[in-house]
Structure 1
Amino acid sequence: MAGIDHVLTSGTFSLDGGTWDVDNNVWIVGDDTEVIIVDAAHDAEAIAAAVGDRRVKAIVCTHAHDDHVNQAPALADRFSAPILLNPAEAPLWEMTWLDHKPDESIAHGQILTVGGIEIEALLTPGHSPGSTCLYIPELGTVLTGDTLFAGGPGATGRSYSSFDTIIDSISGTLLTLPGDTVVRTGHGDATAIGAEAPHLEEWVARGH
């Protein structure tokens, strides 16, 4: 039976000369035999413990800010698993990793399979150029990275980000999902598409 495990990790996020303490949500999707790791953040040992003896098919990065990828190479080596990342994230990835490149690209509409379920990659740029959400219809869930949170869109005040683009991504891609779809985010609490959709106009007003 496929499901989603959650690991909360803590560390720092650095960009544009600043560093902040952050807690990150790491998601492990799959069944009793195989999984994917989504956003390998901060604590490789805790993530590996949650994986247990299951086979890791891939380490999928929703985007390449350092707090979401800082353990990706270590876990890739440990589990002999490929790292998947949208190619538009290359400038951010290279801020953290120059000697270890992602193994495979991930594109809009691409289907990943693990534990007998399908996961659809949805390109949602804005927070970063290649931000990618992972929609899992069978589990009624979308993993949104830092694109959509409980209460609004992800931050867009830093390098390689765009407020107008993230609003387009949310309104044109995420808010078209069924309203009861659970939104599991990169930081903080979960929400639902139907809970966030009514607030789109106020986000736009607030952003401008």
Structure 2
Amino acid sequence: MAGTGVRVDHTTTSGTFSLDGQTFDVDNNVWVVGDDEECVVIDAPHDVAPILDLVGGRRVRAILCTHAHDDHVRVAPRLREQTGAPILLHPDDKPVWELTHPAELWDADLADGQEVEVAGTRLTVLHTPGHAPGAVCFHAPDLGCVFTGDTLFQGGPGATGRSFSDYDKIVASIRARLFALPADTVVHTGHGDDTTVGAEREALGA
């Protein structure tokens, strides 16, 4: 079971998302999982300051990237500089990462089935390609939740109309990996409100 005091903290940051020559204003969710001593950060969108505020004085064990679109990794290298934490990304997202950070790399690869430990609990990596080739979700069974980035939102799958994305793949990923989780699993998304696996399973007719 999860260690004593393990919790999920949340903030929202605002900025832009750019791809294929288009730029959009977006609000991004930032999730921090840990206890009073240590934590991991899930995605580093637009601004380091609110992320550090959410972290407080805790040790950041890792910066976990759900995928490499610029509105999810823009300040990851700066957050690494300020915390000393490694950046973890699925290697299939290398071409996407290079659009934002052509001169810098992440520190370690994420792999399907990998477990990231923090504060006595574990996040299991689920490779869910579709929105991006290296998109992943982080399942925290002890906490009854999954962090889906832009793979699954309240109301359905993430967008697939741009480079490196594929609608059939994202739907297959959601059906095989996310809908296999318990129905009451809370879905913490990359943008917008929470939902549950059961609600989205019903909405997608699965």
Aligned residue in 2 for 1:92: 96
Aligned residue in 2 for 1:41: 45
Q: In the alignment, does 2:186 pair up with 1:182?
A: yes
Aligned residue in 2 for 1:3: 7
Aligned residue in 2 for 1:62: 66
CA distance in structure 1 between the partners assigned to 2:163 and 2:189 by the alignment: 21
Could you tell me which amino acid in structure 1 is paired with residue 162 of structure 2? R
What does residue range 1-208 of structure 1 map to in structure 2 within 5 Å?
A: 1-201=5-205
DSSP-derived class of the 2:170 partner: helix
Deviation above 6 Å: which 4+ runs of structure 1?
none
CA positional deviation for 1:98? 1.5
TM-score (norm 1): 0.96
CA positional deviation for 1:97? 0.3
Task: Describe the superposition over 1:150-200 as per-residue Cα deviations: whole angstroms up to 9, x where unpaired.
Answer: 000000000000000000000001000000000000000000001110122
Question: Structure 1: which 5+ residue stretches go unaligned?
Answer: 203-208
CA distance in structure 2 between the partners assigned to 1:200 and 1:7 by the alignment: 28
Could you tell me which amino acid in structure 2 is paired with residue 84 of structure 1? L
CA distance in structure 2 between the partners assigned to 1:124 and 1:155 by the alignment: 13
Task: Describe the superposition over 1:16-56 as per-residue Cα deviations: whole angstroms up to 9, x where unpaired.
Answer: 00000000000001110000000001110010111111000
DSSP-derived class of the 1:168 partner: helix
Could you tell me which amino acid in structure 2 is paired with residue 17 of structure 1? G
Could you tell me which amino acid in structure 2 is paired with residue 117 of structure 1? T
Aligned 8 A contact 1:171 1:200 in 2: no
CA positional deviation for 1:7? 1.1
Task: Describe the superposition over 1:77-101 as per-residue Cα deviations: whole angstroms up to 9, x where unpaired.
Answer: 1000100000000001000002210
Aligned residues: 202
Aligned 8 A contact 1:57 1:81 in 2: yes
TM-score (norm 2): 0.97
Percent identity over the alignment? 56
Question: Structure 2: which 5+ residue stretches go unaligned?
Answer: none
CA distance in structure 1 between the partners assigned to 2:103 and 2:54 by the alignment: 27
Aligned 8 A contact 1:37 1:59 in 2: yes
